[in-house]
Chains A and B, each alone.
Chain A
């Protein structure tokens, strides 16, 4: 077995914050994509996921680079927990902040893997929390297998 570096020391790491503008055309297109009635005025509640991912200041690839995923194994989004505090509003620019909340090494049937939890918060212009989510991504560690 080759020792695999652990990444628990990254818990608490904050990514650069960013901004997401809930533009009317984005609200419309997002609803269209998920087979909801498109609206320029009222964003679909799932748009929070979009705001969080696009506004957090880094791409998912850049986010994951911190955890040095193996090029031989695909990272998958395992689970997502969302909290919708207040509906997002069209024409509003939200600040988005992301940080590493959990890093857990596990051993499963397919070998060793890390579950990386990144918390992303979407804050309204007054700084109040509007939307929060915890993305749990599974990073296989094939070099750690027996």
Chain B
């Protein structure tokens, strides 16, 4: 009998953004029609107490976490539920890493529970959990 490949404790490959890109923040602001200036302008960011770095939109973390899970499974839509807590800001130029680990497997449902953490330049900026259809092999 072969051991299941996915089990509690299985670590997922990290998803890494080498340097958070302010150009993508600007595109996101346009998509969302978001008037918040700290995503666009360093002077405004400094004036509002964030230092002279633009601030990434918080919900980008949802995308990063889901992207880590997509790459792990190789499937475009492997997640049925995801919960995320936003803990700190992410700034332009920072190295962002999303790490995940399987914490439970539901063989009957064909899903597993994953917990994940996002760190940016070493600071914990978000954490959460997801229900995922894992890779089959």
Contact = CB atoms under 8 A, between A and B. Distances in A.
Interface of A: 26, 29-30, 32-36, 42, 44-46, 49-50, 53-54, 59, 76-85, 87
Nearest to A60: B34
Contacts of A46: 59, 62-63, 66-67
Contact of B32 (A32, A50, A85): A50
Contacts of A30: 31, 63
21 contacts: A30-B31, A32-B27, A33-B25, A42-B76, A44-B67, A44-B70, A45-B70, A45-B79, A46-B59, A49-B62, A59-B33, A77-B58, A77-B86, A78-B86, A80-B86, A81-B82, A81-B83, A82-B83, A83-B81, A84-B81, A87-B76
Contacts, number: 87
Interface of B: 17, 24-25, 27-28, 31-33, 58-60, 62-64, 66-67, 70, 76-77, 79-86
B31 A33 contact: yes
Nearest to A80: B84
B86 A32 contact: no
A29 B31 contact: yes
Contacts of A45: 66, 70, 76-77, 79
A120 B2 CA distance: 43
A80 B64 CA distance: 14
Contacts of A85: 80
Given A45-B77, A79-B86, A83-B80, 12 more contacts: A30-B31, A30-B63, A32-B24, A34-B60, A36-B67, A44-B67, A44-B70, A49-B62, A53-B32, A54-B31, A80-B59, A84-B81
A34 B64 contact: yes
Nearest to B29: A33
A29 B23 CA distance: 12
B24 A79 contact: no
